[in-house]
Chains A and B, each alone.
Chain A
Amino acid sequence: MSRQSNRTTDNKKMNSELFTLTYGALVTQLCKDYENDEEVNKQLDKMGYNIGVRLIEDFLARSSVGRCHDFRETADVIAKVAFKMYLGITPSVTNWSPAGDEFSLILESNPLVDFVELPDNHNTLIYSNLLCGALRGALEMVQMAVDVRFAQDTLRGDNVTEIRMKFIKRIEENLPAGDE
């Protein structure tokens, strides 16, 4: 997003229902366009990734968050600042792996899924998969390769919605070969 549009929309808010239903319309359309849920999940992840790549710039410009020193700090910023800023919710951060390279975001409510019920014939659809793509894309732009997936989802009958994030590696900013 360009600098100009940042200025004019400075942290503006909007009705979440329009957002929710627009997302719903997208998922519905994808389900019509693709033969199976797997393809839809993939497409949602891809679109999320594209969003994440652009979102991170918007985020860094608006929040005065500096560089995160470790993955724990990253987790905090995602949950307390980013989710709050964009979706108006604050997930809790839990289930740290002993090595500190894996954690879970627990979403009490997910603005993407208000009014949504999954029909039985879409039981492998990961409805909010766009979020995973967005998280992955945004973190990749700050040199972190992270694996993001839904571990539990209230839409599929689980008690909570859980996004599991696993740190894979730091992306080195390497120069293209022979370009030194």
Chain B
Amino acid sequence: RSLSRPRTEVSLSAFALLFSEIVQYCQSRVYSVSELQGRLADMGRGVGASLLDLLVLREKNGKRETKVLNILLFIKVSVWKSLFGKEADKLEQANDDDKTYYIIEKEPLVNAFISVPKENSTLNCAAFTAGMVEAFLTHSGFPAKVTAHWHKGTTLMIKFDEAVIAR
């Protein structure tokens, strides 16, 4: 199967229903919100790792990024466009810390159909996307931790390892 074949599409409802089953399944096997997010992030990491090669090949002719800012822009623009049909809303660097960046998304796709119960209000299914971004960065040679937070919509907080910024 050709990697550069014209993109095929499936219905958003199909994805929404599948994702919701995944969240429910994970929920049935964990005891806390943080465990649940951990599980979602794990699954996201798996997806991200497989997508990286495909997207690099297709969008960038197989060329890899070596600069932090460029890889972040690649994620914000190309990756987001091809996965979610639009760019991420914002990319920001923390004022007080050069290792920390934020990708801000007002209404992330994975949260569109999930209503968060009050007693678990810290839950953010964007943990799945965070895992994806983390795998993307790590496998591109920029080890990082990515976590999802409720802040100006959903914010993915990216914390690079010391070594990444030092070089």
Tell whether A pairs with B.
yes
Q: Which A residues form the contact surface with B (CB < 8 A)? A: 1, 5, 8-9, 11-19, 21-26, 28-29, 33, 43, 47, 50-51, 54-55, 58, 85-88, 111, 114-115, 130
Given the complex, which residues of A lie within 8 Å of B25, measured CB to CB? 26, 43, 47
Q: Which B residues form the contact surface with A (CB < 8 A)? A: 1, 7-19, 21-22, 24-25, 29, 39, 42-44, 46-47, 50-51, 54, 82-85, 109, 112-113
Given the complex, which residues of A lie within 8 Å of B21, measured CB to CB? 47, 50-51
Given the complex, which residues of A lie within 8 Å of B44, measured CB to CB? 25
Given the complex, which residues of B lie within 8 Å of A50, measured CB to CB? 21, 24
Residue in B7, B112, B113 whose beta carbon sits within 8 Å of that of A16 in the complex: B7
What would be 22 A-B contacts, judged by CB atoms less than 8 Å apart?
A: A5-B112, A13-B9, A13-B10, A14-B9, A14-B84, A15-B9, A15-B83, A15-B84, A17-B54, A18-B51, A18-B83, A21-B47, A22-B15, A22-B43, A24-B47, A24-B50, A33-B29, A54-B17, A87-B10, A87-B14, A88-B10, A115-B1
Known contacts: A12-B11, A16-B9, A17-B54. The answer to whether A22 contacts B22 by CB under 8 A is yes
Decide if A5 touches B50 in the complex (CB within 8 Å).
Answer: no
Residue in B14, B42, B112 whose beta carbon sits within 8 Å of that of A19 in the complex: B14
Known contacts: A22-B19, A26-B43, A47-B25. The answer to whether A115 contacts B10 by CB under 8 A is no
CA distance A62 to B54 in the complex (A): 33
A interface SS class: helix
CA distance A43 to B42 in the complex (A): 19
CB distance from B33 to the nearest CB of A (A): 18
> Among the interface residues A8, A21, A51, A114, which one has the most CB atoms of the partner chain B within 10 A?
A21
CA distance A115 to B22 in the complex (A): 20
Given the complex, which residues of A lie within 8 Å of B39, measured CB to CB? 29
Given the complex, which residues of B lie within 8 Å of A55, measured CB to CB? 13-14, 17
Decide if A14 touches B12 in the complex (CB within 8 Å).
Answer: yes
Decide if B46 touches A19 in the complex (CB within 8 Å).
Answer: no
CA distance A47 to B27 in the complex (A): 13
Task: Taking A17-B51, A111-B10 as given, write out 9 further A-B residue pairs in contact, using a Cβ cutoff of 8 Å, ordered by the A residue number.
Answer: A16-B10, A19-B18, A29-B42, A51-B18, A86-B11, A86-B14, A87-B11, A115-B1, A115-B50
Known contacts: A25-B43, A33-B29. The answer to whether A15 contacts B7 by CB under 8 A is yes
Residue in A11, A24, A51 whose beta carbon sits within 8 Å of that of B11 in the complex: A11
Given the complex, which residues of B lie within 8 Å of A15, measured CB to CB? 7, 9, 82-85
CA distance A112 to B15 in the complex (A): 11
